[in-house]
């Protein structure tokens, strides 16, 4: 099979395949997305696809890759079309999404990206640049491009913009706003003032489990479409996007496509980070140490499942009062989502970049529960499991990869010879992860006891209370 998914093969797709029911060529580029990867394609892009399908032509997306040309190279020959394979235990729903109308590669053509950010039709910018993306600087970093694009907007006399961070960080919008302000102020204080007035960065909470694409997904897409899609994306059925109602200028009609606009995202974000993402990271490190490969395999283990239940109880006690009552129901839904047998969500994908994920997922809960005198053995063990994982060996002696911006420092600290306490002290000294927790009384000793348990008994035994 060589025919490719594209505008010209769209009409001939099998009837069961959902596809854009609107004239794509009439859609105008109203959104610039920085960091066009699988998560964007299975989440925000589908919201814009729904707006376009409802007849509002303002919301086509210009997708920008910040590093490599791979996404553009895969999707440009397909006119930006790609397949979303929505999987649950009972089967796969196949949908071709049409919102992505332009694909740009920032390092190849930063001026084109800047012009797109400054264009009159551009009304919204969205970002999925991962946790570490907010610290990066330079002309093709997200913050660098945004500041240059906003400067061009201002110079052209255009209005401001809403910029939506869609990464799993606490207060993602305020953080982004602070970074934009700092970078702009270093260039031109008047630009920083203008950004402060004209640009809104509402906090957002995004949720959908979207594994990395594997060859089996390409094969399934080809089988179901009858044409080749070089880069389909698989996802679970569940999807959620909650945004603070704080836009620059007109509020976009996102609610029409299922987005929830709220006054304060913080409780939603805390619940998601401390329940979903915390459990994901815990399963990633404990499960990988135990030699397991995927989330569904890990949650099927009775000891890990019981551990996750304990983690949720302990984390829920640290959540804002307004969402505490929702935590048990949220946990029940999560267990179903994690058990989805069709996703094959790899633990090592989640294990990546732990130094940027742990603070908001596990360390905050651990410290708050400790300081309040509440039970916290579960987040404590999860943090110790991450420390053990960083040493690079699973419980059977097999090698574990460490994919993290701080990999060298983490590996060195996790491999400090001697007692567990020495290792824990070296790890706690990593400021980016632990901040002032290093001085927390008796925390090092408690973590060392947990690490000893993991070293001596292995992950599956150590999780038993």
Dihedral of CA atoms 130, 132, 133, 139 in degrees, nearest 10, equals -160
Q: Which stretch binds ligand CS2 (CB under 6 A): 172-180, 202-210, 220-228, 254-262?
A: 202-210
Between 30 and 379, whose beta carbon lies closer to ligand CS2? 379
Q: Is 136 in the site for ligand CS2 (CB under 6 A)?
A: no
Q: Which stretch binds ligand CS2 (CB under 6 A): 172-180, 205-213, 372-380, 451-459?
A: 205-213
Task: Round to whole Å and give the CA distance between 265 and 271.
Answer: 10
Q: Which stretch binds ligand CS2 (CB under 6 A): 147-155, 204-212, 312-320, 419-427?
A: 204-212
In whole angstroms, the minimum distance from the beta carbon of 129 to ligand CS2 comes to 13
Strand partners, 34: 64, 127
Q: Is 260 in the site for ligand CS2 (CB under 6 A)?
A: no
Q: Is 349 in the site for ligand CS2 (CB under 6 A)?
A: yes
Q: Is 337 in the site for ligand CS2 (CB under 6 A)?
A: no
Q: Is 326 in the site for ligand CS2 (CB under 6 A)?
A: no
Q: Is 235 in the site for ligand CS2 (CB under 6 A)?
A: no
Which of 277, 324, 326, 422 is close enough to bind ligand CS2 by CB under 6 A? 277
82-88 vs 91-97, strand pairing mode: antiparallel
- 76, burial (CB in 10 Å: exposed 0-12, middle 13-18, buried 19+): middle
Task: Round to whole Å and give the CA distance between 104 and 264.
Answer: 33
In whole angstroms, the minimum distance from the beta carbon of 7 to ligand CS2 comes to 31
Contacts of residue 195, defined as CB under 8 A and 6 or more positions apart, other chains included, come to 147, 150, 160, 180, 181, 184
How many residues make contact with ligand CS2 (CB under 6 A)? Answer: 9
Site for ligand CS2 in 355-374 (CB under 6 A): 357
Task: Round to whole Å and give the CA distance between 128 and 71.
Answer: 14
Token pair in block for residue 55 = 């007849």
Strand partners, 91: 88
Task: Round to whole Å and give the CA distance between 450 and 388.
Answer: 10
Q: Which stretch binds ligand CS2 (CB under 6 A): 84-92, 155-163, 207-215, 415-423?
A: 207-215
Token pair in block for residue 175 = 């953080």
Which of 95, 101, 208, 224 is close enough to bind ligand CS2 by CB under 6 A? 208
Residues of the shown chain interacting with ligand CS2 in the complex, contacts defined by CB under 6 A: 168, 207-209, 277, 280, 349-350, 357
């Amino acid at each position: 099979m060589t025919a490719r998914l594209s505008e010209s093969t769209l009409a001939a797709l099998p009837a069961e395949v959902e596809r854009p029911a609107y004239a794509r060529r009439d859609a105008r580029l109203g959104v610039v997305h920085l960091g066009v990867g699988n998560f964007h394609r299975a989440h925000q892009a589908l919201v814009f696809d729904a707006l376009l399908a409802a007849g509002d032509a303002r919301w086509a997306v210009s997708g920008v890759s910040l590093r490599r040309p791979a996404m553009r190279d895969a999707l440009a020959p397909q006119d930006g079309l790609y397949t979303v394979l929505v999987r649950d235990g009972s089967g796969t729903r196949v949908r071709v999404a049409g919102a992505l109308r332009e694909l740009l590669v920032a390092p190849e053509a930063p001026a084109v990206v800047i012009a797109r950010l400054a264009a009159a039709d551009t009304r919204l910018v969205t970002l999925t640049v991962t946790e570490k993306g907010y610290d990066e600087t330079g002309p093709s970093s997200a913050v660098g491009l945004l500041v240059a694009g906003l400067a061009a907007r201002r110079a052209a006399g255009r209005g401001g913009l809403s910029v939506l961070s869609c990464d799993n960080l606490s207060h993602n919008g305020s953080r982004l706003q602070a970074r934009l302000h700092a970078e702009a102020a270093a260039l031109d204080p008047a630009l920083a003032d203008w950004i402060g007035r004209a640009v809104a960065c509402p906090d957002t909470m995004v949720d959908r489990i979207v594994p990395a694409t594997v060859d089996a997904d390409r094969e399934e897409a080809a089988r179901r479409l009858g044409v080749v899609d070089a880069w389909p994306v698989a996802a679970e059925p569940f999807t959620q996007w909650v945004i603070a109602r704080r836009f620059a200028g007109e509020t976009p009609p996102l609610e029409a496509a299922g987005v929830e606009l709220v006054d304060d995202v913080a409780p939603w974000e805390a619940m998601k980070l401390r329940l979903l993402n915390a459990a994901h990271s815990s399963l990633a490190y404990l499960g990988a140490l135990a030699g397991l490969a995927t989330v569904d395999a890990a949650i099927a283990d009775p000891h890990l499942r019981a551990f996750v239940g304990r983690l949720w109880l302990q984390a829920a006690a640290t959540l804002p009062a307004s969402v505490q009552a929702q935590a048990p129901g949220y946990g029940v839904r999560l267990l179903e989502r994690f058990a989805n047998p069709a996703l094959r969500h790899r633990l090592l994908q989640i294990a990546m970049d732990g130094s940027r994920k742990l603070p908001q997922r596990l360390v905050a809960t651990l410290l708050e529960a400790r300081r309040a005198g509440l039970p916290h053995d579960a987040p404590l063990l999860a943090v110790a499991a991450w420390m053990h994982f960083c040493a690079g060996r699973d419980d059977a002696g097999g090698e574990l990869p460490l994919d993290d911006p701080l990999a060298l420092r983490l590996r060195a600290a996790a491999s400090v010879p001697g007692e567990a306490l020495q290792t824990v002290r070296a790890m706690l000294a990593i400021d980016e992860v632990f901040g002032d927790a290093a001085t927390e009384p008796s925390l090092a000793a408690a973590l060392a006891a947990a690490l000893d348990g993991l070293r001596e008994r292995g992950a599956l035994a150590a999780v038993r209370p």
